[in-house]
Amino acid sequence: MHFNNFRWGLTLTVLVGLTACTNNDIDPNAGNTVIPSKGSADFTKYVAVGNSLTAGFADGGLYRESQLNSYPSILAGQLKTVGGGDFVQPLFTEAQAAGSGYLKLVQVPDTANPITLLNAFKQVAPGAVRGSNSQGGALYTKFSGANQNLGVPGIKMADILSAGYGSSIGNPYFERLLSDTDPSTTYFQYVSNNLTGATFFSCWLGNNDALSYATSGGTTPLTATDLFTTNYTAIMNKLTEGGRKGVVIGIPNITVTPYFRVVTLSVINRVIKLLSPTSPNVPALAIQASDAPQGVRASTPNDLFCYPWP
């Protein structure tokens, strides 16, 4: 839901950057229709590297429809108009279309009570889960073969060189992509293995390093700068080997993305007044903070509060 909004905003940004044109691109005999041009880029084989939004994660899960509507899938369709080739994704089958399961709205809020929580449920596709690991986590049906959408939900820049990240007790979305014979394969190695013949890439890694920090209220540490720099340099050197061209997407301001419903203390007090006009203002709230002596401090007017999902 919220992810979809952000995904479309990102897709439009990327496409605008790739389809920028001059007056020379407009055919005067075609009603000022823009004629797509690839310029100096070669889109014969496009490979997408990244995390949740690259994979198509949406509504709390990864499923066939969300994969087909991932921004790399949409972008690949546009690139095909200027010579791009087919785009292979690790899709869940039609029989397993619900994939890992996702949130589905089943009841809208009561208009007479606008703070009523949304009711949703998570449905899991029959057969999409092949078992569980030693910790009780789901293990999804394996995908093997060629792959051009290398997005892995939840991956951080800190994880890309970690052996065992795709093991049975690692990231289940990455584990799904690896063979049982080599669970120690790192994400960096997996990317390298799937770059054969690639002529163009997109890379969106790094925002989960900031996202986990933000969603935890700062209690989960940010990835160390040295580690982030080392891993980012390694992946970019690999992606640009041989002069390969591509697009790199930066880390957005996490607090303004639709994933969050961010409010300040003043907003909380306005809501309280709407619900109970005679209630006093809340002067401060006790919040967790890594920089506080005991890990807890009083909130300030500048603190942002992230409400949990319904």
Model pLDDT for residues 92-136, shown as the tens digit of each residue? 999 999 899 887 766 555 555 544 444 455 566 667 888 888 888
Closest listed residue to residue 208, CA positions, set 36, 30, 43, 52: 52
Half-sphere exposure of 208 (CA within 13 A, CB side): 18
pLDDT at position 107 is: 59
Give the rounded distance of the alpha carbon of 210 from its chain centre.
Answer: 12
User: With the CA atoms of 66, 68, 70 and 73 taken in that order, what torsion angle do they form, in degrees rounded to the nearest 10?
Assistant: 180
Which residues, in sequence order, are CB contacts of 82 under 8 Å at separation 6+?
36, 37, 38, 43
* β-strand pairing of 200-204 with 245-248: parallel
Q: What is the pTM of this model?
A: 0.77
pLDDT at position 43 is: 97
pLDDT at position 1 is: 33
pLDDT at position 124 is: 62
**For the chain (length 310 residues), average pLDDT per consecutive 10?**
35 39 51 81 97 94 95 97 96 92 68 51 70 89 94 97 94 94 93 97 95 82 95 98 96 76 78 84 81 83 68
Domain limits, the chain: 2-260, 262-310
pLDDT at position 118 is: 46
Partner residues linked to 131 by β-bridges: 139
CA angle 74, 80, 86 (to 5 degrees): 85
* Number of Cβ within a 10 Å radius of residue 53: 23
**14, 249 contact by CB (below 8 A):** yes
